[in-house]
Amino acid sequence: MTTPTTYLDWNATAPTEPAAIAAMADAAAHWANPSSVHAGGRSARAALEAARRSVAGNLGVAADSIIFTSGATEALALALNQCRLKGRLVSAVEHDAVRANAGERSRVLGVDDDGVIDLAALDLILGECPEPALVAVMHANNETGVVQPLAAVAERVRAAGGALLADCVQTAGKLDLPDADFIAVSAHKLGGPPGVGALIARRLDLLHAAREGGGHERGYRAGTENLAGIAGFAAALAARADRGWLVQAARLRDRLEAGVRAIASDIAIAGAGADRLPTTSAIRLPGVPAATQLIALDLDGVCVSAGAACSSGRVRASHVLGAMGWNEAAAGETIRVSLGWTTGEDDIDRFLASYGRIARRRRSAA
Ligand code: PLP
């Protein structure tokens, strides 16, 4: 595998922290099943519970609210499929992991042109809901970085007898977690390995037990725990507990956005008027398909995404930009640039140099 020189695709996955790799290797020594009663099993159980306490401490949640899963996709599916509340209401900009599990009868909550939840529409829909609902609104969007007003959402949802499910995949380790009833997080976005995540369930009373399996995770999630992966998750969170890098990331993001505006005055940045994560820019260059931009940047050793990365490598029209009123053509000319803790000035320089060449070719082709 070639090592990318300028990696600006952190929202897809973050590089694995050396401390996480070491913790995974160490945990592999506890290879016994944490459910076994013999000494090896007890030692594996102790390592698992130590990792749970460490994740809880670093995320600021109660250890007994954590249900480890195979990632955020499973955590979101678990909440949506095992929550006793009958109604389902999901925002129009949720990740496919939510959309795929919301059910046919779910209602969709729109966003404004900046991608922010329409609170008046939420009031209206909650008032019309015949039964209390599980409401899924993500903390920050993976394509645009737009941060949702979750305190206001939670207040309204609870007043209507419902519960809030917050997808915090892009904010865990960057922002304080919101006051939500269920929270989904993923290890590989914060320096841990892929294939591990958690549902933080503050309302366990609202969850059915898992239908099948051997009663793991207090019966809510079946399957032998991925101890090495969970140890890597805990170590990554601990290693990146200092969020000081976000100040530098915000400055670099501002420099990047000012740079692309100077290169092409007709570019558009999705959600520019909203509160956004300091690590994400979704940038449209009119007249140049995202795939063309991606390939040109890749040839220059710069890694970015077109909207959301998708498992098949296919570039699809973005439902997120569509919900914000962007037509398919505009969404199809948009790339996502995302920054992380190792991003430096030279990465922004390289991106801007390559982007400038793309914009110049556009001008000469016109
Ligand atoms: N939710 C958001 C906002 C994401 O960005 C992702 C990953 O791309 C997921 C959910 C799914 O996470 P995982 O890869 O852990 O299943």
The string of pLDDT tens digits covering residues 117-159 is 999 999 999 999 889 999 999 999 999 999 999 999 999 999 9
Q: What is the largest CA-CA distance in the chain?
A: 73
The SS3 of residue 307 is: coil
Extended beta strands in 150-274, E state: 163-167, 182-186, 197-201, 268-269
Distance CA 15, CA 288 (A): 29
Calculate mean pLDDT across residues 46-52: 96
Distance CA 346, CA 283 (A): 20
- pLDDT score at 357: 97
Q: Give 214's pLDDT tier (boundaries 50, 70, 90).
A: confident
Is the pLDDT at 208 greater than 60? The verdict is: yes
End-to-end CA distance of the chain: 37
Buried b (16+ CB within 10 A) or exposed e, 322-344: ebbebeeebbbbbbbbbbbbebe
> Which residue among 91, 98, 141, 142 is best mutated to probe the pocket of ligand 1, counting the most ligand atoms within 8 A of its Cβ?
142
CA of 214 from ligand 1 middle (Å) equals 26
Q: Give 312's pLDDT tier (boundaries 50, 70, 90).
A: very low
- pLDDT score at 313: 56
Written as six digits, the tokens of 290 are: 């995202």
Is the pLDDT at 310 greater than 60? The verdict is: no
Q: What is the pTM of this model?
A: 0.96
Distance CA 203, CA 188 (A): 25
Calculate mean pLDDT across residues 90-104: 96
Distance CA 363, CA 111 (A): 34
Q: How far is CA 158 from CA 89, 145, 178, in A?
A: 13, 25, 14
Written as six digits, the tokens of 126 are: 């909650």
Identify whether 83 is a catalytic site residue: no
Measured from the Cα of 140, ligand 1's closest atom is 3
Query: Where is pLDDT greater, at 15 or 366?
Result: 15
- pLDDT score at 314: 59
For strand 302-303 and strand 6-7, is the pairing parallel, antiparallel, or unpaired?
A: parallel
- pLDDT score at 182: 98
Written as six digits, the tokens of 82 are: 């095992």
Q: Which residues line ligand 1 (CB under 6 A)?
A: 71-73, 95, 97, 138, 142, 167, 169-170, 186, 197
Is the pLDDT at 183 greater than 80? The verdict is: yes
Is the pLDDT at 160 greater than 80? The verdict is: yes
For strand 133-136 and strand 87-91, is the pairing parallel, antiparallel, or unpaired?
A: parallel
Asked if 137 and 117 count as a contact pair (C-beta separation under 8 A), the reply is yes
